[in-house]
Amino acid sequence: MSHARPRPCSHGKTASIVAGTNWNTRDGGNGFPKMGLELREPETVVTAMNFDLQQLSFGERFWLWRIRQTPNLPAVHGRRNDGMTQIEAAKILGISIFNYQTLERDEDDKYAVDLLPKIEHEAPPLSDYECCLLARRRMSIKLENLAMQLGMSHMWALRLEREADERLVEFWTEHGFTGFAEPDGDVNG
């Protein structure tokens, strides 16, 4: 017999998590539990671009460039070496960390336009992994909150995200996002 126990969420509310349940057995149509994801509204004006993951804002271009770079720091315990930190990116661009963070938040388009030539080059389209990251970033939800809504641990949600699991891709597609690669390699839209 499993009992629901309340857990505090980062947004101050309480969510019930059923102890001892396996998320694979509670199919909500796409392999995830039947739960509604509380997606926070983006702080920018909602347009079709918010859901087309292949259309990037200036800030998202800087973010994508940063996560695609090889870090300059040596590997440390607990850090996944698949992208630079904001501090490293700011140093390469020759700007302060404050100015770099402003770029990633899309708060200064004029400054971004001046710096784009330093990072723009022929880049491949976003991978499904990058699309999953971008969808979560656009909806301003933390991995822990997504995991709680999906009824799994944050480590399991992280694994699904890193592997661009088809159920997670389907989940984001059901929430209106486009731009994921089709099985034949084309990008949906």
pLDDT tens by residue, 91-117: 999 999 999 999 999 988 888 888 888
Domain borders along the chain are 4-41+126-174, 56-119
pLDDT grade for 77, boundaries at 50, 70 and 90 = low
Q: Is the pTM here over 0.75, yes or no?
A: no
The more confidently predicted of residues 36 and 53 is 53
pLDDT at 10: 39
CB 74 within 8 A of CB 80: no
Residue 162 has pLDDT above 60, yes or no: yes
Rounded CA gap, 97 and 86, in Å? 7
Give per-residue pLDDT as tens, 131-155.
Answer: 999 999 999 899 999 999 889 999 9
The answer for residues whose C-beta is within 8 angstroms of residue 134's C-beta and 6 or more apart is 53, 60, 64, 126
The more confidently predicted of residues 83 and 7 is 83
Which phi and psi angles does 112 have, rounded to 5°?
-65, -45
Token reading at 121: 């080059």
CB 39 within 8 A of CB 141: yes
pLDDT at 69: 87
% of the chain exceeding 70 in pLDDT: 64
